[in-house]
Every structure is written in structure tokens, then in C-alpha cells.
Amino acid sequence: MRRIRSIDDISDGLDELCVIDPRLVDVRAAAGEVPLRLTEPGFESLASIIVSQQVSRASADAIFGRLTRLVDPLTPDGLLSAGEAVFREAGLSRPKQKTLLAIAAAVADGLDLHHLCGLEAGDAVGRMTAISGIGPWTAECYLLFSAGHPDVFPARDVALQAAVGHAFGLESRPGEKALIALAESWTPWRGVASRLFWAYYREWKGREAAPAT
């Protein structure tokens, strides 16, 4: 399985996607630059995805910046010993506090986030969602942006649903099941397709849509 490690990988994936589905030629033209968005796998990368949930990119950057200043380095042990006052000062909601602590505890107990990056997507998602507070979207974004997985499409993502619906002129935004079925034809490049539609959404809406990683 070819991992997404460079802009060249993105370009190759886009070329193949446009052959697989000619509708994507116009989407690619409208999307402009499709960024790589790749971070080092590990606890800090996963923590940044947790922080970015359901907030704007600017808010996520501000909160994560405060957290990494308060807990430096941002490690599972450091977070577990930080204390509740640190979370409040960083501006983290209580659910995100609980999720970050659950992940930190799992890593301290032996969960290897680097090893997960080498697994098949379904297996990796299953292991990650067994941790309290981690849902499929979080696990899939970790595989996309930390593992460089080429064939993950977070169909629960509202921005992706809206982007696909708008790009294809659908009467309504496709739901999760409909989007999963639609994206099936983009295998084995669904990870590049997700980046493409996040870039399309950015150009359409005039703001950054992808997770702050």
C-alpha cells in the first residue's frame, strides 16, 4: 500500500482519481492547491486532532498552542500529571479533557500509536475507537494526517458532505451512508479524494476546512 508522503503522491493520486471519475477534473480545477497535511505520528499529533474537533481552525490553533506551552513536551506522562488547572487555562472543554486523558492512559498502558499507522485502516480504527472519547472521525483523520493512509474517507465530516453535494450539484447534502457509497469508486485513493474536497470546500466557503493538524 502506497503511503501519502509528499506533494508528488497527492498529484499522482489526483491524476488517477480524475481518470477513475471524470467529474473530479472540474473539482480539481476549482479546488486550487491540495495540501499534503502530514504530521509525525504519535501522541501530540492525535492530541491536535482531538483539540480541533468542532471548533474553527483559529480556535484550535490557539488552544493547542496554549496546551503545548503549558505541557512541554506534550507527552502522555506530562498530560497525566498536568492537573485540571492546566486544561482550564488552555481552554479545553471537559469532554476533550477526558478524551486526552483516556488516550494518555492508553499509551502509558502500552498502546503504540506509531504501530497503528502500519495497520490496515479497519483494524487501526477499531483499536482506536475502543478508547473512550475517540470516534471514527478522529481515528480516520489520524490515519490520514499521521499515517498518510491513501484510502481513508471520513464520510461523517460535514464539510466533506457539503463539498461533495455542492460539487456534484446534488439537491441535498449526502449523509454518511450515501457518501460512503459514493466514495467507494475512488478506491484506492479516497485519502487523496478527502483532501481534494476539503480544498474545494476551502475555496467555496473562503475558509480552512481541514482539521488543524
CB contact at 8 A, 198 and 165: no
Domain membership flag for residue 187 = yes
Domain membership flag for residue 48 = yes
The secondary structure of 136-175 as a DSSP string is HHHHHHHHHHTS--TT---TT-HHHHHHHHHHTT-SS---
**Residue 16 pLDDT exceeds 70:** yes
- pLDDT bin (cut points 50, 70, 90) of residue 1 is confident
pLDDT digits (tens, 9 = 90+) for 37-61: 999 999 999 999 999 988 888 899 9
pLDDT of the residue at 210: 54
- pLDDT bin (cut points 50, 70, 90) of residue 157 is very high
What is the rounded distance in angstroms from the CA atom of residue 47 to the CA atom of residue 35?
A: 21
pLDDT digits (tens, 9 = 90+) for 163-211: 999 999 999 999 999 999 999 999 999 999 999 999 999 999 876 555 5
Provide the H-helix boundaries in 55-189.
57-70, 76-80, 84-90, 94-108, 113-116, 121-129, 136-145, 158-167, 176-183
Domain membership flag for residue 211 = no
Give, to the nearest 10 degrees, the angle between helix 94-108 and helix 43-52.
160
Q: Same domain for 93 and 166?
A: no
Residue range 6-14: mean pLDDT, rounded: 97
**Residue 143 pLDDT exceeds 90:** yes
pLDDT of the residue at 204: 93
**Residue 88 pLDDT exceeds 80:** yes
Amino acid at 169: G
Q: Residue 193: give its domain's CATH number.
A: 1.10.1670.40
Q: Same domain for 132 and 81?
A: yes
What is the rounded distance in angstroms from the CA atom of residue 49 to the CA atom of residue 69?
A: 17
Residue range 92-96: mean pLDDT, rounded: 95
Contacts of 177 (CB under 8 A, 6+ apart): 155
Q: Residue 66: give its domain's CATH number.
A: 1.10.340.30
Which residue, of 126, 145, 164, is where some domain finishes? Answer: 145
| Mean of the per-residue pLDDT values of the chain | 94
Domain encompassing residue 179: 7-36+151-205
Total domain count for the chain? 2
Q: Same domain for 52 and 75?
A: yes
Q: Same domain for 12 and 55?
A: no
Find the angle CA(21)-CA(25)-CA(29) to the nearest 5 degrees. Answer: 150
Domain membership flag for residue 93 = yes
**Residue 84 pLDDT exceeds 80:** yes
pLDDT > 70 fraction of the chain, expressed in percent and rounded: 97
